[in-house]
């Protein structure tokens, strides 16, 4: 389960709005997705390059994460896994989310 500060507000929105299937947010710089019984919280992170510094290295993180929504044959919403834009390859690629414990 994602651990950002936005998970609880997103859960509250879903609990208070039973007809909602999806809550999406951004700007935390950390993409995350959480499925609870077919209802989703998705955070796409940010498209602004993030510069991270530590005692070991300085790196620029360009996540460029996006949420692609589609409909199935009956018109039901399908939440696809998060994807990221790969500038070097000029294509979309699946985004692997690693949860830190």
pLDDT tens-place string over residues 30-72: 788 888 888 999 988 877 766 666 655 555 666 688 888 899 9
What is the model's pLDDT at position 61?
60
Mean pLDDT for the chain overall: 81
Comparison of pLDDT for 57 and 73, the residue scoring more: 73
Q: Can you give the pTM of this predicted structure?
A: 0.68
CA distance 21 to 53: 37
The whole-number pLDDT of residue 45 equals 82
Residues 68-81: what's their mean pLDDT? Answer: 89
Q: If you write DSSP's letter for every residue of 2-22 in order, what string do you get? A: --STTHHHHHHHHHH-TT--E
Break the chain into its structural domains and give their ranges. 7-94
């Amino acid at each position: 389960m994602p651990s950002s500060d936005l998970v609880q507000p997103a859960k509250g929105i879903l609990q208070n709005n039973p007809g909602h299937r999806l809550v999406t947010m951004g700007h935390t710089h950390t993409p995350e997705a959480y499925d609870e019984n077919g209802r989703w919280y998705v955070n796409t992170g940010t498209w602004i390059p993030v510069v991270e510094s530590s005692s070991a290295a300085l790196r620029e993180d360009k996540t460029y994460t996006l949420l692609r929504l589609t409909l199935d044959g009956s018109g039901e919403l399908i939440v696809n896994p998060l994807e990221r834009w790969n500038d070097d390859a000029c294509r979309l690629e699946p985004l692997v989310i690693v949860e830190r414990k």
